């Protein structure tokens, strides 16, 4: 079975996004599991700064050579920063999904939404269960 990097310093959604809280802002990206499943990422479509996203609702699109997938917001709030480098370098999501491959920073409305996300060990179990 493939090995997935799941760092302890952040939380995870069941839809394979990670969220990392710093003060009242959450940065968001997709997990190592997601990027491995997708394969070569060739296109990322993100919302504009100022857009409001809803927890569990699509905020953007990620495309591999073969497939198109929605990106789901792990928490609700206003988008305050967008990683515009991904337009030119979508491969950063494959190369460094927890770093240069970040997608958004959201100003969190409700801290409880963040606290309700999976921690690293729960997310690891989530992946294992899905793989059957």
Partner 1 sequence: MTESKRTPLYETHCRLGARMVDFAGFAMPVQYTSILEEHAAVRERAGLFDVSHMGQIYLSGSGAVAAAERLVSCPVASLGQGAVRYGLLCNETGGVVDDVTVYRLANQALFLCVNAANTEKDYRWMLAHAGEGVQVEDRSPRLGLLALQGPASQAILERACGLALRELKRFRFIEGAFEGTRTLISRTGYTGSDGFEVYVESETTLRLWEALLRAGEPFGLQPCGLGARDTLRLEAALPLYGHELDDTTSPLEARLDRFVKLAQGGFIGAQAIAKRKAQGHPRLLVGFTLEERGIARAGHVLAHGGKAVGVVTSGAPSPSLGISIGLGYVPPSLASVGTQLFVVIRERNIAARVVETPFVKAPGPRRS
Residues that bind partner 1 (CB under 8 A): 39-40, 42-43, 45, 61, 63-66, 68, 87
Positions of E strands within the chain: 11-12, 17-22, 25-30, 41-45, 52-53, 58-64, 68-72, 77-82, 104-108
If the CB atoms of residues 5 and 115 are measured against partner 1, the closer one turns out to be 5
Q: Least separation, in Å, of the C-beta of 32 and partner 1?
A: 15
If the CB atoms of residues 19 and 53 are measured against partner 1, the closer one turns out to be 53
- State which H helix or E strand residue 94 sits in: helix 92-95
| Interatomic CA distance for residues 68 and 30, integer angstroms | 14
Q: Least separation, in Å, of the C-beta of 62 and partner 1?
A: 11
Q: Least separation, in Å, of the C-beta of 100 and partner 1?
A: 18
If the CB atoms of residues 40 and 115 are measured against partner 1, the closer one turns out to be 40
Q: Least separation, in Å, of the C-beta of 127 and partner 1?
A: 16
| Interatomic CA distance for residues 67 and 115, integer angstroms | 31
Q: Least separation, in Å, of the C-beta of 70 and partner 1?
A: 10
If the CB atoms of residues 65 and 128 are measured against partner 1, the closer one turns out to be 65
CB of 75 closer than 8 Å to CB of 10: no
If the CB atoms of residues 1 and 112 are measured against partner 1, the closer one turns out to be 1
Least Cα distance to 46 among 16, 85, 9 occurs for: 85
């Amino acid at each position: 079975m493939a090995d997935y990097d799941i760092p302890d310093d952040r939380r995870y959604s069941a839809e394979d996004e990670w969220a990392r809280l710093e003060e009242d802002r959450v940065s968001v990206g997709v997990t190592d599991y997601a990027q491995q499943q997708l394969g070569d990422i060739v296109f990322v479509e993100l919302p504009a700064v100022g857009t409001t996203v809803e927890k569990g609702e699509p905020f953007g699109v990620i495309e591999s050579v073969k497939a198109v997938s929605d990106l789901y917001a792990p928490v609700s709030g206003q988008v305050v920063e967008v990683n515009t480098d991904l337009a030119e370098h979508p491969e950063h999501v494959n190369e460094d999904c927890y770093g240069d491959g970040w997608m958004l920073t959201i100003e969190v409305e409700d801290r409880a939404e963040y606290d309700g996300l999976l921690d690293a060990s729960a997310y690891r179990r989530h992946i294992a269960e899905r793989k059957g």
